[in-house]
Amino acid sequence: MVRTYFSKASEILRLPSAELGADGKAKEIEIPADSRELFEKTRERLIELVAEYKNIVGSKPITEVELKDEQTNTTLGLPGGFESTQQLSGAYSNILQYGLPDDYYNTFTQKVLSATPGTANEIAKKYIQPTHLVWIIVGDMAKVEAGIRELNIGEVHKIDADGNPVQ
């Protein structure tokens, strides 16, 4: 089995800070899942991702081991994200863009380490709704369209690089 690049715990740990928009209203969130495979494998990667999203809120929630691994990776990697002026600027931009508190990065590690599998899974169930996902697939439609349509996971809308509909 080829594993898609999706860390359940990693994305769930980041969700609470994105819960509300600047206007205080709930907003849609993006949960990136990256599968760097050949076009011929797009259908197979989608099958895995659909199953992963269903499982996380169903029969295979985040385990203590997964959460601990992600807590370690996330917190130990945090200092490396503040080594250059560009990284500092990007972090500050995140605070402004998402309306995060000024001390967001000062309290981030404590919040991440305080998460339990129970809280992580509650957050997952709140935000991950497998029947309401929007998939954005970039690639050669001639190679991937038939396989995507076979899965019947929703309407297929083709757009160009500028976001304009394509026939």
Would 160 be classed as within a structural domain?
no
Task: Give the per-residue pLDDT at 89.
Answer: 95
**32 domain residue, yes or no:** yes
- For the chain, 167 residues long, give each residue's pLDDT as a single digit of tens: 233 334 555 555 444 444 434 444 444 555 555 555 555 678 888 888 888 889 989 999 999 999 999 899 989 988 998 999 999 999 999 999 989 999 999 999 999 999 999 999 998 898 888 888 888 887 788 888 888 899 888 888 888 888 898 87
Rounded to 10 degrees, what is the CA torsion of 132, 135, 136, 140?
-150
Contact 130, 19 (CB under 8 A): no
Inside any domain, residue 109: yes
Instruction: State the pLDDT at residue 11.
Output: 53
- Residue 161 in domain: no
Whether 2 maps to a domain, the answer reads: no
- In single-letter form, the type of residue at position 13 comes to L
What is the per-residue pLDDT for 65?
A: 92
Classify each residue of 24-36 as buried b or exposed e, where b means 16 or more C-beta atoms within 10 Å of its C-beta.
eeeeeeebebebe
Helix spans in the chain (H): 8-14, 42-56, 64-77, 85-98, 104-114, 117-127, 141-151
Number of folded domains that form the chain: 1
In this structure, is residue 164 part of a structural domain?
no
pLDDT of residue 39: 55
Domain interval for residue 111: 8-20+27-151
pTM: 0.65
96: in domain = yes
